[in-house]
Amino acid sequence: MKAIEIKNLIFTYMGEEKPALEIDDFYVNEGESILLTGRSGSGKSTLINCINGIIPHVISGELKGSVRLMGEEVREMKLPDIARTVGTLLQDPERQVMNYNIVDEIAFGPENLKFSRDEMERRINRAISVVGLESFIERETTKLSGGELQRVALASVIAMEPKIMILDEPTSNIDPEGTEQIFRFIQDNRENMTQIIVEHKVERALPFVDRVVVVNDGKIILNVSKEHLMRDVEVLLDAGIEIPEEYIYAKQLGLDTVDPEVIREKIREKGLNLSRRVRRNDGETVLSSHLDVDVEGRKIVSTDLNLKKGQVYCIMGKNGAGKTTLIKGLMDFLNKKQFSVSSSLNIEGEDLSGKDYVLRGRKIAYLPQSFDLMLVSKSVESEVYYSAKHRKIPGFREIGDELIGMFSLDDKRMTDPLMLSTGQRRRVCMAAALASSAHIMLMDEPTSGQDFLNKKILGEEIRKLCARGFTFLIVTHDSRFAYRYGDYIGIMDNGRIIHEGEPDHIFRFSSEYGVIAPSDYVLRAEEKEVVS
Amino acid sequence: MYSLLDTAISWLLFVFGVSIPFYLILGAIGISGFREITSYEKYDTFYYNLNASIKILLSVVIVLIATFAIWWIGAIITFGLLASYVTLKNGWRKMYLTGFLILSIIIGTVWGYAPYEPLGIVSMALHTPVSSFTTVWTWPPYFSILGYEPHLTLQSLYYSFQISFRFTAAVVASLLLVMTNTPAQIIKTLSRFRIPDPVIFSLVVAMKTVPAVFESFDTSIKISLMRGYGGNKPKFLRPFVILAAAVSCIVPTIVHLLRGAKDIGISADTRAFRAYPSRSYFMQTPFKREDYIFSGILVIMVTATIIAIMMGFGRAIPYLT
């Protein structure tokens, strides 16, 4: 039986002229697992909202054609009835978990459906067991790591016992360990439910799906079984989708496997030389610091950190390792009433140890994960001028104009930054942060939720700035990004940077700390270095 | 003739009334302090074991008492409840933070009412002839454009001070509810009171969002200052710089939160929210001994208020007697 059947679907958002989605014919069989991918804004979310009934029941617009779930027309079903059939796990667990206690959160759906207490208990216990929440069931949701919180969100959807499960970029905000647990669930439940996984990380999701569907500009441009994906690698590349490098080489070498280790051997046999980036770790030290952070007498961060001029230093590690606390501590952004912070900080020869974030801001720029929060001006131009203008730096217009040009924002100069796309907003924020005349930039998860092309643009911009003497400290879970654009990686565990070195060295053993090596590394690794 | 010094003092007084509550809120409590007094934290003392319905009832009773009884009953309740904050998790700190909030409400209310209150009304309320009023300051004539009375009297200040306790008691009781109950407990209770589900859901989203609002707002303001807003102004002016920066940080904070609110709505709708006119509840919250004890206290409070009003300590009769 077809779990989902779409025919002649055209959806146009209210106030828009161009349809956001146009699908002639698409179906998903019961028990099938689909990877739905495409660039940001390609129409993936619109498609899943048409399947889970959010369109047309919550989001209005002009809907033509038919979407059927288990044979029933979505338009004619009530939203709560759709919710019994389709479960949806969203990208950011912080934004979907609304209860303080884990059990309350899992019970939310069954309570809405007014099940008997016994039935609720059965569903809750099953959801806890399927996702493996037993070890922290008593903890408050506000104190869970991103990965743990995403598992709670997943359990709350499982408790609805849906026949179809949509996972909308379920791993974009969580660490590799949490990602592994989510994919393990997907793997273990492939038989029980139809799954649609929306992911930018094609490499991570591929082992768990049967079919790959690519959406571009509101249309399905590729719909192939996983086995035939290699044939269409160009289509994915043209659509700006991240392709595992081994797929490209497998096709080039005419191999029928995508195992990176097998491909690596073939590459060696053929004498192909894979490009390796030269890491820049020989600059003078521009930042040296030591940070201690305590909460209620418990030390949560105690570490040294040194940055060299022109370096991209990536901090990696599990959720809760202290990465964001480290960055906030360096910026003096931690709440002094909640955290006891002592730091020594020397930047470009100036001792800023006892100085607050206002003074540190002259030397360090900071881009938080929620970068929209820094967009306080009415136009891109005034946003970029903001810092230098307030600091009364002579020639602030010239500085700002140069950055606007560098970040390709000339045509958006007078646009309200909040009206721009995610990638454009991130570029405005970077330009605005750098206009402060700071030469060191701290970035917290800049690739989170960004598609391949945006990540590539970001990485290239960072490298360009490094060549001009800027230094970057980046907290990231994205191993591939760190491998491609980083010079140095620090592995953080329990509040300390316990290992640091060049990516090729760190990825030899990083999996012990929840940091999984990307296939780019595996393809280039010497035999003795290969991760197990 | 109104001297230059008098003009300066008048404007100083005006600025004092407008700015001190903000100064207290931003300087002494801080945005992170607000988050602390609007968030639930797990703990195990009397208030945490008390049923949410009793605390909602407490808020309602307190509003009624503060409205109908003489002002000092509202004041006693305010400070009594505030003192009981020490039993909360990090109780002294929560009492300190809420104490500043109460102080800012009192100053804000006094300065918001006293200069505008027609003396005739104050005279009726206090049962004191206007001729017996003590003038503490005379405003420049052009202050009447602001709606000010020509004279600021001791009685106007006193009357406004009394009015402030109608608000403070309700604030202390409401914060107590939010700090000692999870959103789920409040949903259940409100549902029992037959409050419609969409209204309850809005409150739950608000309870979930309010701490995040403070956190996002705090980050946005800090980034503005870090990026040079306020230039080289001295540190003692920081609360005012923060206040000015806060105005421009409202829009990005709201946009950020609205993006999150959309996801919360989708998360609830895709889990069958509003499938039926009512919901069932997995976790039961039966009435315990503490609830019966506190219900008794509420009954005593209401009875005592009725007796006080009958004895002449009601709002409709002279406050100063």
Contacts of B182 in chain A (CB under 8 A): 99-101, 104
Do A39 and A159 lie in a common domain? yes
Q: Assess whether the previous peptide bond of A56 is cis (omega < 30° from 0).
A: yes
A79 near B CB under 8 A? yes
* Closest partner CB to A112 (pick from B223, B226, B273): B273
Do A433 and A444 lie in a common domain? no
B171 in a domain, yes or no? yes
**Containing domain of residue B102, as a range?**
12-195+297-310
User: Which residues are within 8 A (CB) of A429 and not within 5 positions of it... i.e. 6 or more apart?
Assistant: A367, A371, A372, A374, A375
Q: What is the pLDDT of residue B318?
A: 42
CA nearest neighbour of B84 among B292, B288, B287, B294: B294
Do A208 and A306 lie in a common domain? no
B141 in a domain, yes or no? yes
Do A303 and A447 lie in a common domain? yes
Chain A CA closest to residue B242: A358
d(CA B146, CA B241): 25
A358 near B CB under 8 A? yes
B96 in a domain, yes or no? yes
Do A197 and A235 lie in a common domain? yes
- Give the residues across from B153 on adjacent strands: B135
Do A151 and A289 lie in a common domain? no
Do A61 and A111 lie in a common domain? yes
Which stretch of DSSP H or E encloses residue B236?
A: none
Q: In the listed set A437, A457, A478, which residue is the last one of a domain according to the structure?
A: A437
Q: What is the pLDDT of residue A141?
A: 86
Which amino acid appears at position A231 of this protein? R
Q: What is the pLDDT of residue B319?
A: 47
CA dihedral sign of residues A255, A258, A262, A263? positive
Residues 338-357 of A with CB under 8 A from B: 338, 357
> Does the distance separating the beta carbons of A390 and B230 come in below 8 Å?
yes
Do A357 and A485 lie in a common domain? yes
Contacts of A114 in chain B (CB under 8 A): 275-276, 278-280
B37 in a domain, yes or no? yes
* Closest partner CB to B280 (pick from A84, A115, A361): A115
CATH of the domain at A67: 3.40.50.300
Do A206 and A134 lie in a common domain? yes
> Does the distance separating the beta carbons of A79 and B269 come in below 8 Å?
yes
Chain A CA closest to residue B261: A95
A114 in a domain, yes or no? yes
Strand runs labelled E in A394-519 = 440-444, 471-475, 488-493, 496-501
> Does the distance separating the beta carbons of B30 and A373 come in below 8 Å?
no
B107 in a domain, yes or no? yes
d(CA A223, CA A217): 15
d(CA A351, CA A355): 9
Q: What is the pLDDT of residue B315?
A: 63
Do A86 and A66 lie in a common domain? yes
* Closest partner CB to A370 (pick from B216, B222, B283): B216
User: Which residues are within 8 A (CB) of B246 and not within 5 positions of it... i.e. 6 or more apart?
Assistant: B26, B217, B221
Residues 157-186 of A with CB under 8 A from B: 157, 160
Residues 196-255 of B with CB under 8 A from A: 204-205, 208, 216, 218-220, 222-231, 248-249, 251-253, 255
> Does the distance separating the beta carbons of B274 and A111 come in below 8 Å?
no
Contacts of A389 in chain B (CB under 8 A): 228
CA dihedral sign of residues A302, B93, B254, A404? negative
Cβ atoms of B119 and B130 closer than 8 Å: yes
B164 in a domain, yes or no? yes
A522 in a domain, yes or no? no
Per-residue pLDDT of chain A (532 residues; tens, 9 = 90+): 899 999 999 999 988 889 999 999 999 999 999 999 988 788 998 999 999 999 999 888 999 999 999 999 999 999 999 999 999 998 888 888 888 889 999 999 999 999 999 999 999 999 998 888 888 888 888 778 777 888 899 999 999 999 999 998 888 777 777 777 788 888 888 888 899 999 887 877 888 899 999 999 999 999 999 888 878 888 888 888 888 888 888 888 888 777 888 888 888 888 887 888 889 888 999 999 999 999 878 899 999 999 999 999 999 998 788 998 999 999 998 887 778 898 899 999 999 998 889 889 989 999 988 888 999 999 999 999 998 888 888 888 888 898 898 888 888 899 998 888 777 888 899 889 888 888 999 999 888 877 888 888 889 989 999 999 999 999 998 999 999 999 999 999 999 999 999 999 999 999 888 888 888 888 888 755 444 3
Q: What is the pLDDT of residue A186?
A: 84
0.85 surpassed by complex ipTM: no
User: Which residues are within 8 A (CB) of B99 and not within 5 positions of it... i.e. 6 or more apart?
Assistant: B82
Measured at the CA of B94, the angle between CA A343 and CA A291, to 5 degrees, comes to 10
* Closest partner CB to A99 (pick from B33, B182, B223): B182
B254 in a domain, yes or no? no
Q: What is the pLDDT of residue A221?
A: 95
Q: DSSP for A28-51?
A: EETT-EEEEE--TTSSHHHHHHHH
The counts of H helices and E strands in chain B are 12, 2
Do A36 and A11 lie in a common domain? yes
Q: How many domains does chain A have?
A: 4
Size of interface A-B (CB pairs under 8 A): 191
**Containing domain of residue A267, as a range?**
244-274
B33 in a domain, yes or no? yes
Q: How many domains does chain B have?
A: 1
- Which of A136, A140, A370 is the best mutation test for B, with the most CBs of B within 10 A? A370
Q: DSSP for A318-334?
A: -TTSSHHHHHHHHHT-S
Q: What is the pLDDT of residue A422?
A: 77
Do A292 and A420 lie in a common domain? no
d(CA B271, CA A107): 10
Task: Tell me which residues of chain B have a pLDDT lower than 70.
Answer: 1, 314-321
Beta strand A488-493 with A312-316: parallel, antiparallel or unpaired? Answer: parallel
Supply A111's token pair: 């309570």
